[in-house]
Amino acid sequence: MNLESPQAVAAALRSVDYLPDDRISQVVFLANRLDKPILVEGPAGVGKTELAKALSRVTGKDLIRLQCYEGLDEAKALYEWNYKKQLLRIQADVDHDWEEIEQDIFSEDFLLTRPLLEAIRSENPVVLLIDEVDRVEVETEALLLEILSDFQVSIPELGTMEARTQPMVVLTSNNTRELSEALKRRCLFLHIDYPDAQREQEILAARVPGLSEHLAAQVARVARSIRSLDLKKAPSVSETIDWARTLLALSIDDVDEDILGDTLHVLLKYQTDIEKAAKELTSSPQA
Protein backbone atom coordinates (compact mmCIF):
# COMPACT_ATOMS: atom_id res chain seq x y z
CA MET A 1 0.00 0.00 0.00
CA ASN A 2 1.08 3.53 -0.69
CA LEU A 3 2.72 5.46 2.15
CA GLU A 4 3.89 8.34 0.00
CA SER A 5 2.26 11.12 1.95
CA PRO A 6 0.92 11.55 5.47
CA GLN A 7 -2.58 11.56 3.99
CA ALA A 8 -1.91 8.26 2.24
CA VAL A 9 -0.58 6.81 5.49
CA ALA A 10 -3.71 7.93 7.31
CA ALA A 11 -5.94 6.35 4.69
CA ALA A 12 -3.96 3.12 4.75
CA LEU A 13 -4.11 2.86 8.54
CA ARG A 14 -7.82 3.58 8.53
CA SER A 15 -8.35 0.83 6.00
CA VAL A 16 -7.04 -1.67 8.56
CA ASP A 17 -9.15 -0.16 11.35
CA TYR A 18 -6.42 1.86 12.99
CA LEU A 19 -7.48 5.46 13.51
CA PRO A 20 -4.46 7.74 13.52
CA ASP A 21 -4.29 11.44 14.30
CA ASP A 22 -2.20 13.91 12.31
CA ARG A 23 0.81 13.29 14.45
CA ILE A 24 0.78 9.53 14.09
CA SER A 25 0.38 9.66 10.30
CA GLN A 26 3.13 12.20 9.93
CA VAL A 27 5.61 10.23 12.00
CA VAL A 28 4.84 6.96 10.24
CA PHE A 29 5.29 8.69 6.91
CA LEU A 30 8.67 10.07 7.99
CA ALA A 31 9.84 6.78 9.45
CA ASN A 32 9.08 5.06 6.19
CA ARG A 33 10.67 7.77 4.11
CA LEU A 34 13.82 8.14 6.21
CA ASP A 35 14.19 4.50 7.32
CA LYS A 36 14.18 5.43 10.96
CA PRO A 37 12.82 3.56 13.96
CA ILE A 38 9.82 5.03 15.76
CA LEU A 39 9.84 5.21 19.53
CA VAL A 40 6.21 5.30 20.65
CA GLU A 41 5.62 6.38 24.21
CA GLY A 42 2.45 6.88 26.19
CA PRO A 43 0.16 5.44 28.83
CA ALA A 44 -1.01 1.83 28.62
CA GLY A 45 -3.74 0.97 26.16
CA VAL A 46 -3.60 3.93 23.79
CA GLY A 47 -2.67 1.96 20.68
CA LYS A 48 1.12 1.76 20.75
CA THR A 49 1.43 -1.96 20.15
CA GLU A 50 -1.54 -1.86 17.85
CA LEU A 51 0.22 0.68 15.64
CA ALA A 52 2.97 -1.81 14.85
CA LYS A 53 0.42 -4.49 14.13
CA ALA A 54 -1.52 -2.13 11.88
CA LEU A 55 1.68 -1.29 10.01
CA SER A 56 2.27 -4.94 9.41
CA ARG A 57 -1.24 -5.31 8.03
CA VAL A 58 -0.89 -2.20 5.88
CA THR A 59 2.43 -3.18 4.33
CA GLY A 60 1.79 -6.91 4.20
CA LYS A 61 5.09 -7.43 6.01
CA ASP A 62 5.38 -10.05 8.72
CA LEU A 63 5.40 -8.80 12.28
CA ILE A 64 8.24 -9.97 14.49
CA ARG A 65 7.77 -9.07 18.10
CA LEU A 66 10.30 -8.88 20.86
CA GLN A 67 8.42 -8.55 24.11
CA CYS A 68 10.72 -6.97 26.66
CA TYR A 69 10.82 -7.83 30.33
CA GLU A 70 13.18 -7.36 33.22
CA GLY A 71 16.04 -9.77 32.76
CA LEU A 72 15.71 -10.10 28.98
CA ASP A 73 19.18 -10.90 27.66
CA GLU A 74 21.08 -11.59 24.46
CA ALA A 75 20.15 -15.23 24.46
CA LYS A 76 16.48 -14.36 24.34
CA ALA A 77 16.69 -11.25 22.17
CA LEU A 78 19.35 -12.14 19.65
CA TYR A 79 20.53 -15.72 19.37
CA GLU A 80 21.56 -18.69 21.35
CA TRP A 81 23.48 -21.85 20.52
CA ASN A 82 21.32 -24.90 20.61
CA TYR A 83 23.27 -26.77 23.31
CA LYS A 84 21.07 -29.77 23.22
CA LYS A 85 21.42 -30.30 19.50
CA GLN A 86 25.15 -29.62 19.68
CA LEU A 87 25.69 -32.20 22.42
CA LEU A 88 23.67 -34.82 20.66
CA ARG A 89 25.66 -34.16 17.50
CA ILE A 90 28.91 -34.62 19.42
CA GLN A 91 27.70 -37.84 21.01
CA ALA A 92 26.42 -39.27 17.74
CA ASP A 93 29.72 -38.77 16.06
CA VAL A 94 32.49 -39.76 18.47
CA ASP A 95 34.78 -41.08 15.73
CA HIS A 96 35.04 -37.87 13.78
CA ASP A 97 37.85 -35.45 13.93
CA TRP A 98 37.13 -32.84 16.63
CA GLU A 99 37.96 -29.88 14.45
CA GLU A 100 35.45 -30.99 11.91
CA ILE A 101 32.78 -31.46 14.54
CA GLU A 102 33.51 -28.09 16.01
CA GLN A 103 33.08 -26.39 12.68
CA ASP A 104 29.89 -28.21 12.15
CA ILE A 105 28.25 -27.49 15.48
CA PHE A 106 28.99 -23.80 15.29
CA SER A 107 27.22 -23.36 11.99
CA GLU A 108 23.91 -21.68 11.32
CA ASP A 109 22.11 -25.01 11.67
CA PHE A 110 22.81 -25.01 15.38
CA LEU A 111 21.85 -21.43 15.94
CA LEU A 112 18.54 -20.54 17.55
CA THR A 113 17.66 -17.17 16.13
CA ARG A 114 15.70 -14.88 18.39
CA PRO A 115 13.52 -11.95 17.26
CA LEU A 116 16.24 -9.37 16.58
CA LEU A 117 18.42 -11.63 14.50
CA GLU A 118 15.41 -13.13 12.84
CA ALA A 119 14.20 -9.69 11.84
CA ILE A 120 17.36 -8.68 10.05
CA ARG A 121 17.99 -12.12 8.55
CA SER A 122 14.55 -12.39 7.04
CA GLU A 123 14.44 -12.69 3.23
CA ASN A 124 11.51 -10.32 3.09
CA PRO A 125 11.49 -7.10 5.06
CA VAL A 126 9.47 -7.31 8.26
CA VAL A 127 7.98 -5.00 10.84
CA LEU A 128 10.01 -5.40 14.02
CA LEU A 129 8.14 -4.53 17.19
CA ILE A 130 10.29 -4.10 20.30
CA ASP A 131 7.52 -3.88 22.83
CA GLU A 132 7.78 -2.17 26.22
CA VAL A 133 11.47 -1.43 25.94
CA ASP A 134 11.39 0.51 29.22
CA ARG A 135 11.24 -2.82 31.02
CA VAL A 136 14.75 -3.97 30.13
CA GLU A 137 17.86 -2.86 31.98
CA VAL A 138 19.98 -0.09 30.56
CA GLU A 139 22.66 -2.62 29.55
CA THR A 140 20.24 -4.52 27.37
CA GLU A 141 19.07 -1.28 25.84
CA ALA A 142 22.61 -0.77 24.59
CA LEU A 143 22.40 -4.09 22.81
CA LEU A 144 19.24 -3.05 21.00
CA LEU A 145 20.86 0.20 20.07
CA GLU A 146 23.79 -1.57 18.49
CA ILE A 147 21.55 -3.61 16.24
CA LEU A 148 19.42 -0.63 15.32
CA SER A 149 22.42 1.35 14.22
CA ASP A 150 24.56 -1.30 12.56
CA PHE A 151 21.98 -3.73 11.27
CA GLN A 152 24.41 -6.54 11.77
CA VAL A 153 25.26 -8.98 14.50
CA SER A 154 28.64 -10.42 15.17
CA ILE A 155 28.73 -13.93 16.51
CA PRO A 156 32.19 -14.87 17.79
CA GLU A 157 32.09 -18.47 16.51
CA LEU A 158 30.53 -17.60 13.21
CA GLY A 159 31.53 -14.10 12.18
CA THR A 160 29.33 -11.20 11.24
CA MET A 161 25.76 -11.73 10.21
CA GLU A 162 24.71 -8.90 7.94
CA ALA A 163 21.13 -7.79 7.55
CA ARG A 164 19.49 -9.27 4.49
CA THR A 165 16.71 -6.72 4.66
CA GLN A 166 16.06 -3.71 6.79
CA PRO A 167 13.03 -3.99 9.03
CA MET A 168 10.61 -1.22 9.81
CA VAL A 169 11.20 -0.78 13.53
CA VAL A 170 8.69 0.27 16.17
CA LEU A 171 9.72 0.48 19.82
CA THR A 172 7.16 1.12 22.51
CA SER A 173 7.56 2.41 26.04
CA ASN A 174 5.17 3.03 28.91
CA ASN A 175 7.73 5.46 30.27
CA THR A 176 8.20 3.76 33.59
CA ARG A 177 11.86 4.53 33.18
CA GLU A 178 13.74 7.22 31.30
CA LEU A 179 15.33 5.66 28.24
CA SER A 180 18.89 6.48 27.35
CA GLU A 181 19.60 9.59 25.31
CA ALA A 182 21.47 7.51 22.77
CA LEU A 183 18.44 5.39 22.03
CA LYS A 184 16.14 8.37 21.81
CA ARG A 185 18.49 10.15 19.45
CA ARG A 186 18.27 7.32 16.96
CA CYS A 187 14.50 7.30 16.84
CA LEU A 188 11.64 9.46 15.78
CA PHE A 189 9.75 10.18 18.94
CA LEU A 190 6.00 9.76 19.04
CA HIS A 191 4.04 10.44 22.17
CA ILE A 192 0.53 9.05 21.98
CA ASP A 193 -1.95 10.25 24.53
CA TYR A 194 -5.59 9.35 25.06
CA PRO A 195 -7.48 10.28 21.90
CA ASP A 196 -9.86 13.23 21.90
CA ALA A 197 -13.54 12.38 22.05
CA GLN A 198 -13.96 12.66 18.29
CA ARG A 199 -11.23 10.16 17.47
CA GLU A 200 -12.19 7.83 20.29
CA GLN A 201 -15.68 7.73 18.87
CA GLU A 202 -14.24 6.73 15.49
CA ILE A 203 -12.08 4.06 17.12
CA LEU A 204 -15.15 2.66 18.85
CA ALA A 205 -17.08 2.65 15.60
CA ALA A 206 -14.25 0.73 13.90
CA ARG A 207 -13.62 -1.73 16.70
CA VAL A 208 -17.09 -2.46 18.02
CA PRO A 209 -19.33 -3.57 15.17
CA GLY A 210 -22.98 -2.88 15.76
CA LEU A 211 -22.43 0.08 18.07
CA SER A 212 -24.78 2.96 17.32
CA GLU A 213 -23.37 6.39 16.63
CA HIS A 214 -25.23 7.77 19.62
CA LEU A 215 -23.78 5.22 22.00
CA ALA A 216 -20.28 5.60 20.57
CA ALA A 217 -20.46 9.34 21.17
CA GLN A 218 -21.74 8.85 24.70
CA VAL A 219 -19.06 6.31 25.56
CA ALA A 220 -16.35 8.60 24.23
CA ARG A 221 -17.66 11.53 26.23
CA VAL A 222 -17.94 9.53 29.42
CA ALA A 223 -14.37 8.33 28.94
CA ARG A 224 -13.18 11.90 28.54
CA SER A 225 -15.11 12.95 31.60
CA ILE A 226 -13.63 10.19 33.75
CA ARG A 227 -10.12 10.89 32.51
CA SER A 228 -10.39 14.46 33.71
CA LEU A 229 -10.65 13.19 37.29
CA ASP A 230 -7.58 12.67 39.39
CA LEU A 231 -7.34 8.88 39.33
CA LYS A 232 -4.78 6.24 40.03
CA LYS A 233 -5.34 4.76 36.60
CA ALA A 234 -7.40 6.44 33.91
CA PRO A 235 -9.40 4.23 31.53
CA SER A 236 -7.45 3.25 28.42
CA VAL A 237 -8.84 2.90 24.92
CA SER A 238 -8.97 -0.85 25.36
CA GLU A 239 -11.11 -0.32 28.44
CA THR A 240 -13.54 1.99 26.69
CA ILE A 241 -13.80 -0.62 23.95
CA ASP A 242 -14.54 -3.27 26.56
CA TRP A 243 -17.12 -1.04 28.10
CA ALA A 244 -18.82 -0.39 24.76
CA ARG A 245 -18.90 -4.14 24.13
CA THR A 246 -20.41 -4.70 27.55
CA LEU A 247 -23.13 -2.14 26.90
CA LEU A 248 -23.84 -3.71 23.55
CA ALA A 249 -24.08 -7.16 25.10
CA LEU A 250 -26.54 -5.81 27.64
CA SER A 251 -28.61 -4.33 24.79
CA ILE A 252 -28.25 -0.85 26.19
CA ASP A 253 -28.69 1.97 23.72
CA ASP A 254 -28.44 4.94 26.01
CA VAL A 255 -26.17 5.35 29.03
CA ASP A 256 -27.55 6.90 32.16
CA GLU A 257 -25.97 7.25 35.53
CA ASP A 258 -27.39 4.00 36.91
CA ILE A 259 -25.98 2.01 34.04
CA LEU A 260 -22.66 3.79 34.40
CA GLY A 261 -22.61 3.07 38.11
CA ASP A 262 -23.29 -0.61 37.51
CA THR A 263 -20.62 -1.03 34.85
CA LEU A 264 -17.86 1.28 36.10
CA HIS A 265 -15.73 -1.70 37.07
CA VAL A 266 -15.22 -2.42 33.37
CA LEU A 267 -13.65 1.01 32.89
CA LEU A 268 -11.73 1.31 36.11
CA LYS A 269 -9.53 -1.17 37.88
CA TYR A 270 -9.06 0.29 41.33
CA GLN A 271 -11.81 0.36 43.91
CA THR A 272 -10.81 3.85 45.06
CA ASP A 273 -11.09 5.08 41.47
CA ILE A 274 -14.49 3.47 41.03
CA GLU A 275 -15.73 5.17 44.17
CA LYS A 276 -14.35 8.52 43.13
CA ALA A 277 -15.87 8.34 39.65
CA ALA A 278 -19.20 7.18 41.03
CA LYS A 279 -19.25 10.10 43.41
CA GLU A 280 -18.40 12.60 40.68
CA LEU A 281 -20.56 11.34 37.86
CA THR A 282 -23.56 9.75 39.43
CA SER A 283 -25.78 11.15 42.13
CA SER A 284 -25.90 7.82 43.95
CA PRO A 285 -22.39 6.99 45.08
CA GLN A 286 -21.89 3.27 45.30
CA ALA A 287 -19.22 0.67 45.59
Binding site for ligand ADP (CB under 6 A): 17-19, 44-50, 172, 203, 206-207, 237-238, 241
Dist. CA 178–CA 180, nearest whole Å: 7
Dist. CA 63–CA 16, nearest whole Å: 15
Binding mask 210-249 toward other proteins (x if CB under 8 A, else -) reads: --------x--xx-xx--x-xxx-----------------
User: What's the min distance (Å) between Cβ of 127 and ligand ADP?
Assistant: 14
Dist. CA 219–CA 210, nearest whole Å: 14
- 19's contact among ligand ADP, Mg ion, other proteins, none, with CB below 5 to 8 A by partner kind, is ligand ADP
From its phi and psi, is residue 175 left (phi > 0), alpha (psi between -120 and 50) or beta? Answer: left
Binding mask 185-204 toward other proteins (x if CB under 8 A, else -) reads: x-xxxxx----xx-------
Dist. CA 264–CA 142, nearest whole Å: 42
Taking 3-state DSSP, the helix, strand and coil percentages for the chain, each rounded to the nearest 5, stand at 50, 15, 35
- 6's contact among Mg ion, other proteins, ligand ADP, none, with CB below 5 to 8 A by partner kind, is other proteins
**Residues in Cβ contact with 214 at an 8 Å cutoff, skipping those fewer than 6 apart:** 253, 254
Nearer to other proteins among residue 206 and residue 281 (C-beta)? 281
Judged by CB under 8 A, the residue of 109, 157, 213, 257 near other proteins is 257
By the 8 A CB rule, do 117 and 80 touch? no
CA end-to-end span of the chain:
49
- 45's contact among ligand ADP, Mg ion, other proteins, none, with CB below 5 to 8 A by partner kind, is ligand ADP
Considering only 32-40, 98-106, 121-129, 150-158, which stretch makes contact with other proteins by CB under 8 A?
Answer: 32-40
Query: DSSP code of 95?
Result: T
- 32's contact among Mg ion, ligand ADP, other proteins, none, with CB below 5 to 8 A by partner kind, is none
User: What's the min distance (Å) between Cβ of 261 and ligand ADP?
Assistant: 24
Asked if 140 interacts with Mg ion (CB under 5 A), we say: no
Q: Where are the alpha helices (DSSP H) in 70-179?
A: 74-77, 83-92, 98-105, 115-121, 138-150
Nearer to Mg ion among residue 53 and residue 89 (C-beta)? 53
Judged by CB under 5 A, the residue of 3, 6, 38, 49 near Mg ion is 49
Task: Report the site for other proteins in 69-98 (rule: CB under 8 A).
Answer: 73, 83-84, 87-88, 91
Residue 152's DSSP bridge partners are: 162
Asked if 286 interacts with other proteins (CB under 8 A), we say: no
Asked if 236 interacts with Mg ion (CB under 5 A), we say: no
Largest CA distance in the chain: 84
Closest CA to 65 of 221, 170, 143, 186: 170
How many amino acids of this chain bind other proteins (CB under 8 A)?
Answer: 51
Closest CA to 172 of 159, 197, 189, 153: 189
Q: Which residues bind other proteins (CB under 8 A)?
A: 5-6, 22-23, 26-27, 30, 33-34, 39, 41, 73, 83-84, 87-88, 91, 137-138, 175-178, 181, 184-185, 187-191, 196-197, 218, 221-222, 224-225, 228, 230-232, 255-257, 260, 270, 272, 281-283
